Amino acid sequence: MNRDSEVFKDLESILIDEATLQQRIQELGQQIGQDYKGKLPVVIGILKGSSIFLADLVKAIPIHLTLDFMGISSYGGGTHSTGVVKITKDLEETIEGRHVIIAEDIIDTGLTLNYLLKTLKQRNPASLTICTLLNKQARRILEVEDVGYKGFEIDDHFVVGYGLDYMQKFRNLPCIGVLKPSVYQKF
Ligand code: IMP
């Protein structure tokens, strides 16, 4: 989509543009490819936020891998964490003995991933690491261990785009941006 679209018009600013995202994702993919050579990792996408990132990330990883998805919800739909984490869809394959890479859109309070890591570690994977596109360190409530790969550190903004939503919208933006304050009244 181009910048005249109604989706772009709701942005106050672009935090990370498309080219910058793509370049960093290529680097992450190359790094993962080197680190997991010969290991057949399973890359787990956390729905729905990581879906766009996951699609580009796996295309940048130059080794064999498998894919699986998990649905988790931690937000009631707005901009604040409720601390309530619910599995809405479980994995289809067993991860016992597998090298697991969790692809996540953003780590904010850390509540979601702490819950998820606890659950997945009980299933005895050979190894488990997280690859997050964004990290909002300033808002951490519970530190998250096992973050092997980080795309970008961002300040304490509520961001949308590239999979990240506000009220389920803006996931289709090709960049990461900050919304105009008026949008919060509109939707
Ligand atoms: P945490 O449990 O607070 O770390 O939040 C993790 C989840 O909250 C992410 O996977 C996102 O779905 C959502 N989230 C956190 N920060 C943002 C944001 O700035 N924009 C959109 N969604 C966010």
Average confidence (pLDDT) per 10 residues, the chain, 187 residues: 95 97 98 98 96 98 98 67 78 98 95 90 98 96 94 96 97 97 91
In a domain, 2, yes or no: no
In a domain, 131, yes or no: yes
Task: State the total domains in the chain.
Answer: 1
- What is the spatial distance between Cα 7 and Cα 15, in angstroms, rounded to a whole number? 15
Q: What is the pLDDT of residue 75?
A: 56
Long-range contacts of 163-170 (CB under 8 A, 24+ apart): 163/48, 163/49, 163/50, 163/51, 163/52, 163/53, 163/105, 163/133, 164/49, 164/105, 164/106, 164/134, 165/48, 165/49, 166/78, 166/79, 167/77, 167/78, 168/77, 169/7, 170/7, 170/10
Q: What is the pLDDT of residue 187?
A: 87
Question: Which residues have CB under 8 Å from 104's CB, separation 6+?
Answer: 46, 49, 50, 113, 130, 131, 132, 133
Q: What is the pLDDT of residue 126?
A: 98
For a ligand 1 pocket test, name from 88, 106, 145, 160 the mutation site with the most ligand atoms within 8 angstroms of its C-beta: 106
User: Can you give the CATH number for the domain in which 60 is found?
Assistant: 3.40.50.2020
And the tokens for 27?
A: 């680097």
Q: What is the pLDDT of residue 80?
A: 63
In a domain, 134, yes or no: yes
Reply yes or no on whether 108 is catalytic: yes
Q: Is 47 in the pocket of ligand 1 (CB under 6 A)?
A: no
In a domain, 11, yes or no: no
The pTM score is: 0.94
In a domain, 145, yes or no: yes
Q: Which domain holds residue 119?
A: 18-154
In a domain, 9, yes or no: no
Spacing, Cα 159 to ligand 1 middle (Å): 9
Each residue of 54-72: pLDDT tens digit?
999 999 999 999 999 999 8
In a domain, 161, yes or no: no
